[in-house]
Structure 1
Amino acid sequence: MSRAADHPVEALFVDRWSPRSFTGEPVPEAVLKSAFEAARWAPSALNAQPWRFLVTRPGDAWWETYLGFLMPRNRLWAAQASALVLILSSRFAERRGEIVENTSHSFDAGAAWANFAHQALLLGWHTHGIGGFDKNAARVRLAIPDDFAIEAIIALGRKGDLDRLDPEFHGAEVPNGRRPLADTVFAGSLNEPAFSNGKDAA
């Protein structure tokens, strides 16, 4: 599927998509550090920076454990990734000397994940977010305190060819599209689109 933005944006935002086929080649530590550095600079309420990242790579002590958290269908393709990253977010933050509930912890962690994904792409690596995994098992096995929400697991790797991917996923291994702004952005309430349906002139 060909992707094209309706309005001017950097190519980075259109080029980022979520493949399942990965080469499995080792990811350099410098790439991970750069992607996590980008995540570090995401905006957050109270500058609480609620995100935490737990990372594992093939061959290390945690790799098989993380694969075991995944639903079987996700494990089929994610086992070929170069890293798996578990995203947590702290439910609490400090405000004027008090510990308070941070109601935007998941929202802010999402901003950090987007930074991570885009920086990885700039370096030639793709990412795929995974929601299909056993969060309870992850919490118990990794001794994650209840103060942290478990958000998602991210697979990172170099995009591979279809022959590296289980045939079950071949039909979906293409970039998908997006609905138009007219169906997404509204003027004051959900009753009236904020913009017309027209695309910007070339």
Structure 2
Amino acid sequence: MWQHRALMRKPAETSAPLAEAIHHRWSPRAFDEAAEVSWDQLRALLEAARWAPSFGNTQPARFLVGRRGDETFRRILATLTPRNQSWAHRAGALLVAVMVTRNEKGEIPYAEFGLGLAAQNLVLQAVHEGLAAHQMAGFDAEAVRREFGVPAEAVPRVAIAVGHQAAPEVLGEERDVERERAARKRLPLAEFAYTGTWGEAAF
């Protein structure tokens, strides 16, 4: 059962009904530093990621996982850019999504696509759990590699903050608060889905 309890909702404006987790998913930066993300919740998020599709069932996704207050969390936080550290320290958990590029059969085709599918499953499960998630490119992948002994055939690709939403004002800076409150925007379907020929709107 859907359990969305976000403090501030920004539902997608859509031309067709969507699954609730998709309809309400967005990427807040304002997290409640007093609220915990439990290991049971993290297990559910990672099970969702584990069951994502991948090319030939190669399953290229791996995750480093830390809860706020533990050593893994602190080490992941240290690899984030200062800008991301300024808000991500309040998250209940920090993860790094890693793609394995080779296995015993050789190079894994579409490894990045497989990791993306796993990460999306994780994020949507977070919404289902009443949590929020924010994916970040702003981190030092080589620092993650050194800090956690990530092997050469695996590539740290994205960091993910997971937690309970807080009021935007916890971000402090007015521009950050305004950004948190801003409406979500996407291209219209007419510029997104084509039929017949490129640029001919399907809807």
Q: In 2, are the aligned partners of 1:22 and 1:81 still within 8 Å (CA)?
A: yes
Contact 1:76 1:166 in 2 (8 A): no
Residues 120-139 of structure 1 mapped to structure 2, 5 A cutoff: 120-139=126-145
Structure 2 vs 1, CA of residues 57 and 185 (structure 1 numbering), >3 Å: closer, same or farther? same
Deviation at 1:40?
Answer: 1.0
For residue 172 of structure 1, the aligned residue among 179, 193, 196 is 179
The structure having more radius of gyration, on CA atoms, is 1
Q: 1:189 to 1:105 in 2, by over 3 A?
A: farther
Matches within 5 A, 1:1-202: 3-24=12-33, 25-93=35-103, 99-167=105-173, 168-174=175-181, 175-187=183-195, 190-193=198-201, 195-196=202-203
Deviations 1:155-177 (A, max 9, x none): 00001012321324111103512
Take 2:197 and 2:64, find their aligned partners in 1: how far apart are those partners? Answer: 39
Query: What TM-score results when the alignment is normalised by the length of structure 1?
Result: 0.88
Aligned residues: 191
Q: Percent identity?
A: 34
Per the normalisation by structure 2, the TM-score is 0.88
CA distance in 2, matches of 1:191, 1:123: 38
Alpha carbons 1:77, 1:166 under 8 Å: kept:
no
SS of 2:18 mapped into structure 1: coil
Structure 1: runs of 5 or more not aligned: 197-202
User: For residue 195 of structure 2, what is the amino acid of its counterpart?
Assistant: A
